[in-house]
Amino acid sequence: MPLSEQEQRALSELEHGLRADDPRLDKWLRRMTPPEDSTSTFLTLGVLAAAVVGVGLLVAGWVLFGLLVLALGAVGPIRWVSRSYYDPACHHLVPASEPNCPRCAAA
């Protein structure tokens, strides 16, 4: 269940207060893996998995299925990534259809 705007605002104020009170917590939260790193990791693993499965199917003699898996494994992640971009100002992945980050605009 998504949070209401009031709940999001209250959590944001609480986080801001906790960050101000504890500099170690602030430093730790800033060092957490940013979303663009985890996204690129999952995309890389997805492409590599599709390549391994595709080559395995080719070796097993399933040529059409192997080629299909190789093609979809390369094209699918690229299409998925092209639907969003990383906004360095707010560190969020933003849909390409949005001019600004909807999470930051709501806050």
Between residues 16 and 3, the one the model is more confident about? 16
State which of 30-44, 71-85, 90-104 shows the largest mean pLDDT.
71-85
What is the rounded distance in angstroms from the CA atom of residue 67 to the CA atom of residue 55? 8
Residue 68: give the domain boundaries: 36-106
**Is residue 47 domain-shared with residue 12, that is, in the same domain?**
no
**Is residue 43 domain-shared with residue 18, that is, in the same domain?**
no
Matching residue, tokens 């299409």: 79
**Is residue 59 domain-shared with residue 14, that is, in the same domain?**
no
**Is residue 22 domain-shared with residue 44, that is, in the same domain?**
no
Nearest to 94 by CA among 14, 39, 23, 49: 39
Give yes or no for residue 96 having a pLDDT over 80: no
SS3 87: strand
57 alpha-carbon distance from chain centroid: 29
**Is residue 58 domain-shared with residue 28, that is, in the same domain?**
no
**Is residue 81 domain-shared with residue 96, that is, in the same domain?**
yes
What is the rounded distance in angstroms from the CA atom of residue 101 to the CA atom of residue 85? 10
Q: Which of 7-11, 40-44, 70-74, 85-89 has the lowest mean pLDDT?
A: 85-89
- Report the share of the chain in percent with pLDDT over 90: 12
Rg (CA), the chain: 20
What is the rounded distance in angstroms from the CA atom of residue 40 to the CA atom of residue 34? 10
**Is residue 23 domain-shared with residue 40, that is, in the same domain?**
no
**What is the total count of domains within the chain?**
2
**Is residue 28 domain-shared with residue 40, that is, in the same domain?**
no
**Structure confidence at residue 34 as a pLDDT band (50, 70, 90):** low
**Is residue 27 domain-shared with residue 45, that is, in the same domain?**
no
**Is residue 21 domain-shared with residue 40, that is, in the same domain?**
no
The predicted-structure confidence for 46-80, as pLDDT tens digits, reads as follows: 889 889 999 999 999 899 999 999 898 888 887 87
The predicted-structure confidence for 3-14, as pLDDT tens digits, reads as follows: 788 888 888 888
**Is residue 65 domain-shared with residue 17, that is, in the same domain?**
no
pLDDT of 36 reads 58
**Is residue 52 domain-shared with residue 90, that is, in the same domain?**
yes
